[in-house]
A and B are shown apart, each in its own frame.
Chain A
Amino acid sequence: MKRVQFNRLTSHVAPLLMDDVDTDQIIPARYLKVTDKQGLGEGLFAEWRYDRQGNTDPEFALNLSQAQGAEILLVGRNFGCGSSREHAVWALLAKGIRVVIAQSFADIFRGNALKNGLLVVQIGQSVHAKLAEMVVAAPSTEVTVDLASQELLIPDLGGVQFAIDEFSKRCLIEGLDSLGYLLSAETHIRKYEASHE
C-alpha cells in the first residue's frame, strides 16, 4: 500500500493570500461528477481562475507567471473550510501543489490532505506575514520544506519549526497508506465488535 512519499522539497511559492478559502472555491461542485480522480486539476479554483467566457483570468494569483511550477501554496487562515470533498486535495495535487502553508486549516481538509501526501504546514502570524511579504516582493524566493526535521527553511528567516502528528509524519515519510494500520488492527476490531453486540 504505497502512497506518495514526502520527505524534503524546495520550491518557489505561489501566494494566494486570502483567509477562509472554502472547498467550493478550491473545486466547485459541478466538477465533482466523476467516479475517479482524473482531470480534477481543470476545476481547481475554477470560479477565480477563469473569466465568464472560460478564458484564463491573468490577474488571479495562481495565473501569474510567478506561480507557475510552484509546488508550495501559501494561503491565509482557515484554508479548506466547508465541504468535506477530498476532490479539493486531489485537484491541488493534480496541479502540482505538494505543500500548503497556512496560518490554520479546517479539520476535514487537513485530514484529507495528509492522507494523500499533500503536506499541510501551519505557521504563526508573524512568520506568515514575513514569508508573504518576501514571496510577493521576490517571487523567485525558494523555500525548503523538510519533514524529517519538521522545519521550513526560509531565506533570511532561517529554520522555522512546524508541528505534525507522529503518525501522519511516519506515513508521509515512508509512503504508507494509513489503511494498512487499520487493517493490521483487525483482531482488535473484531474483539470490540464481539464485546459490543
Chain B
Amino acid sequence: MSSPKTLFEKVWEDHIVLQETGSPAILYVDLHLVHEVTSPQAFAGLEQKGLSVSRPERTVATMDHSTPTLPGSLAELDGAGAAQLRRLEQNCARHGIPLYPWGDAQQGIVHVIGPELGLTQPGMTIVCGDSHTSTHGAFGALAFGIGTSEVEHVLATQSLLQHRPKTFEISIDGRLPFGVTAKDLILALIAEMGIDAGTGHVFEYRGEAIRALDMEARMTVCNMSIEAGARAGMIAPDETTFEYLAGRRFAPKGRDWDRALERWRDLPSDAGANFDRRFTLDASRLSPMITYGTNPGMGIAIDGVVPEPESLPASEERQALQKALEYMQLEPGQPLEGQPIDVVFIGSCTNARLSDLRLAAELLEGERIAEGIRMLVVPGSESVRNRAEAEGLDTVFLAAGAEWRRAGCSMCLAMNGDRLGRGEYAVSTTNRNFQGRQGPGGRTFLASPLTAAASAISGKISDPRPLLARRRAR
C-alpha cells in the first residue's frame, strides 16, 4: 500500500515525463489554451528556430483580450489590436490549431469556453499564457498560468519545465449565508491570507462550503487563487463535476465516459494525505465583500469601514495602505456602503457565466439603474450570451438601462476600448483592482454580481441582501 496522496500529487506524478537530478521536472501538458496577447512572440520564436507545433490537437485558441464587445466593430479597433487578432488567425491556420475567432458562436474568454466545451477535465494538466488559468482547477485539473517563453516551450514540445510546488490545504467549513456568494468567499479568503500567502504552493479547496458550490461558483473560487499568490487552485472532482461535464462537446462519450469516470473517482486526496500548509475559514460567518484598495487582498465586509493605516504593524504596510487610499480617494475609517460610483461592470473570467448573470438579473428585474450610472454586462462567452438571451436576461439588463455586450475580457483589463475614465469609480465583478487596471486613473471596487447589481440600482455601493430578500419573498 503506497502512502496517501493529495489530489495535486496524483495529477503531478501522472504527468512527469522525466525528472533528472539538478533539473526541474519535465511535465506533460494535456491541454494548451492560447489567446492573442501572450502568444505572438512564442509563435515567432518557434519559427525563428525552425520548429513546428508538436501537438496542435492538444492546443485550442480563442480571441478574448483585445476583442470588441460591440457587434461589427472590429474595424474600429486600433491597428495594433487588430494586428494581434490577425496574427493569431495566421498562426493557428499555419500550425493547424483549432481557433474560436471573434464572431464565432463558441468564442469567449478562454477560461469560460474551456469548461463549457468540455475541454477542461479532471486530472488534466492545463496551461495558458494567462494567470487566471487557475480557473480550470475547479475540475480537479492542475491548471496554471505561464509566460510567453513557456508558451513557446509547450507549442514546441507539449511539455514544460517545472519545479514541484508545495501543497496547501484550504478548508472552508460551514455554509455560505444568504446573499453571500463564491466571489465573497474568495475575496474574504484573500483578505485574510494576504496576496502572497500562496507563493510556491498549489491550493486544494476542501470542506463543506466548497462541496456545496456548483461548478460555476467553484470556478470563481479557483479563478482567484492567483490573487493569493498560489500557483494553482484545485477542487476534487465529485458528482457535481461529472454532472456538469456529461454530454459536453469534448467530454468523453459512451464507454470512454465510463472509463474516465473510473479514473476521475480515484483523484480526490486520500484520507490522511499530508499537506505542507493548512488554512481554515468558516464560511458561515462571511458577509458580502467589497475591496477598498489597489490589490485584491484589500477587502472588507460590505458593512465594514476602510482600515486605518495606524492600525497596521509594519511601516511598509502603513505606507502601502496610505498610497492605496490616496489613489482611491478614500478616508481611513469611512464606511464603503453608500460610496457613490460611476460605473458597474459585470463580466470577466471570474464572474461572467450564466449563473452570475442570473443573479444580477434577479435583482435588476423591473428596476432601473440609478441616474448617471453606466453599466456594462459582458457575458463570458458567446454561448453564455446566447443562453442568457434565450432566458430573456438581455431584456432585463436593457430594460434596467444597462448595456448588453458581446463576449470578451472587456473592461477587466481595458485592452479593447471598454474602460473607466480617469477618476471614475466602478463596482466590478472582476479579479483585480490594481491601479489603472480598468483604465488609466480608474478606481475599482471588486465585488460579487449581486453587490454589483444592487449598487447599480442605488448608484452607490450597496449591500445586496435586503433587495435579494424582498425578491425571494415574492
Contacts and interface: CB of A to CB of B under 8 A. Distances in A.
Contact of A86 (B18, B148, B226): B148
B356 to A, nearest CB: 22
B230 to A, nearest CB: 8
A117 B37 CA distance: 22
Contacts of A104: 196, 199
Given A182-B161, A183-B157, A189-B26, A107 B229 contact: yes
A84 B131 contact: yes
Interface string B133-151: 0000000000001111110
Given A22-B295, A24-B436, A78-B195, A189 B150 contact: no
B9 to A, nearest CB: 17
Nearest to B145: A84
A181 B323 CA distance: 44
Contacts of B158: 189, 193
A35 B38 contact: no
A178 B149 CA distance: 9
B237 to A, nearest CB: 19
B131 A35 contact: no
B22 A18 contact: no
Interface stretch (A25-33, A137-145, A154-162): A25-33
Contacts of A37: 41
A189 B229 contact: no
B256 interface: no
B149 A81 contact: no
Nearest to A105: B199
B472 to A, nearest CB: 37
B152 interface: yes
User: Which of A34, A47, A89, A107 has the most CB atoms of chain B within a 10 A radius of its CB?
Assistant: A107
Contact of A34 (B80, B146, B436): B80
B129 interface: yes
B432 A181 contact: no
Contact of B199 (A82, A106, A111): A106
Nearest to B163: A165
Interface residues of A, number: 53
B456 interface: no
Nearest to B54: A189
A130 interface: no
Contact of B149 (A112, A170, A185): A112
A188 B87 CA distance: 32
Instruction: Summarize B's interface: helix, strand, loop or mixed.
Output: loop
A32 B161 contact: no
Contacts of A29: 65, 413-415, 437
A81 B83 CA distance: 28
Interface string B430-455: 00101111001100000000000000
B28 interface: yes
Contacts of B83: 33, 35
Interface string A65-109: 000000000001110011111110100000000000000101110
Interface of A: 1, 18-20, 22, 24-25, 28-30, 32-37, 47, 52, 76-78, 81-87, 89, 104, 106-108, 111-112, 115-116, 165-167, 170, 178-179, 181-183, 185-186, 188-189, 192-193, 196
28 contacts: A19-B317, A28-B440, A30-B415, A33-B81, A33-B84, A34-B80, A35-B83, A35-B87, A36-B41, A81-B229, A83-B432, A84-B38, A86-B41, A86-B129, A86-B147, A86-B149, A89-B147, A116-B149, A165-B163, A166-B23, A167-B24, A179-B157, A182-B26, A182-B156, A182-B157, A188-B17, A189-B159, A193-B158
Interface of B: 17-18, 22-24, 26, 28, 37-38, 40-41, 44, 49, 51, 54, 65-66, 78, 80-81, 83-84, 87, 129-131, 145-150, 152-153, 156-161, 163, 165, 195-196, 199-200, 226-227, 229, 231, 295, 316-317, 320, 323, 413-415, 422, 432, 434-437, 440-441
Given A84-B38, A111-B147, 13 more contacts: A29-B414, A29-B415, A30-B415, A47-B440, A77-B196, A85-B38, A86-B129, A106-B229, A107-B231, A166-B22, A167-B22, A181-B23, A183-B156
